[in-house]
């Protein structure tokens, strides 16, 4: 028997009898006065992220297409957005190292921190969200929760085998206290507010 098995066996043998439910945790968060979307915007920008604003054409995906048109290496995990790199043909995660822009949809977003959550369901290949130079994330405004406490209550978070909160682009401030963005992961993170099920007029 390994040390691990021995420890677990002792814990099971000395576990108190009966049912012991976890305590109910009070809700410590309050909806922001400015609204969830505005709070999310402010916190995302504070963390170095950007918002891809509508262009007035009435097509929410038009600004995204304009941004992608200038890139030679786009990989999209979103069915309505096409790229030059087909995820279904990627054999190994490291093959995504040449991706310029990755497009994914967030499972949901968090107003309190300006974070988005992605899992293996959204990324398809987890490395897509970190090996790309730039990350564009589609967020449904109706799927912005108030705080991290609410985020952990979301069914999607508990059902995923892999889930990651991401807040802005990668950054480091450990060298002489100077903040450097895009140091170890994506150089930029841009959010476009596009509801789930949105159908582009250009489709």
CATH number, residue 165: 3.40.50.10420
Euclidean distance between CA atoms 82 and 58, whole angstroms = 20
Euclidean distance between CA atoms 106 and 149, whole angstroms = 18
Give the helix/strand (H/E) hosting 136. strand 134-139
Give a yes or no: residue 202 inside a domain.
Answer: no
Give a yes or no: residue 48 inside a domain.
Answer: yes
Taking the alpha carbons at both ends of the chain, their separation in whole angstroms is 61
Give a yes or no: residue 9 inside a domain.
Answer: no
Give a yes or no: residue 201 inside a domain.
Answer: no
Give a yes or no: residue 199 inside a domain.
Answer: no
Give a yes or no: residue 109 inside a domain.
Answer: yes
Indicate the number of domains in the chain.
1
Give a yes or no: residue 164 inside a domain.
Answer: yes
Per the structure, the complete domain to which residue 90 belongs is given by: 32-193
Give, for all 203 residues of the chain, the pLDDT tens digit. 789 999 999 999 998 888 888 888 888 888 899 999 999 999 999 999 999 999 989 999 999 999 999 899 999 999 989 899 999 899 999 999 999 999 999 999 999 999 999 999 999 999 999 999 999 999 999 999 999 999 988 988 788 889 999 999 988 887 677 888 877 789 999 999 999 999 888 76
Give a yes or no: residue 11 inside a domain.
Answer: no
Total residues belonging to the chain: 203
């Amino acid at each position: 028997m390994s040390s691990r098995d021995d420890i677990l066996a002792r814990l099971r043998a000395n576990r108190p009898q009966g049912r012991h439910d976890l305590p109910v945790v009070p809700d410590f968060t309050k909806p922001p006065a400015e609204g969830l979307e505005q709070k999310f915007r402010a916190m995302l920008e504070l963390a170095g992220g950007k918002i891809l604003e509508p262009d007035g054409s009435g097509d929410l995906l038009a600004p995204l297409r304009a941004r992608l048109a200038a890139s030679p290496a786009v990989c999209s995990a979103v069915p309505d957005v096409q790229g030059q790199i087909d995820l279904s043909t990627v054999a190994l995660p490291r093959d995504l190292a040449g991706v310029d822009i990755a497009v994914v949809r967030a499972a949901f977003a968090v107003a309190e921190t300006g974070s988005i959550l992605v899992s293996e369901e959204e990324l398809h290949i987890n490395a897509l969200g970190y090996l790309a130079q730039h990350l564009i994330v589609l967020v449904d405004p109706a799927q912005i929760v108030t705080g991290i406490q609410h985020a952990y209550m979301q069914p999607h978070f508990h059902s995923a085998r892999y889930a990651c909160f991401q807040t802005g682009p990668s950054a480091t401030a450990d060298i002489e206290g100077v903040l450097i963005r895009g140091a170890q992961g994506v150089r930029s993170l841009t959010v476009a507010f596009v509801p789930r099920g949105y159908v582009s007029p250009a489709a």
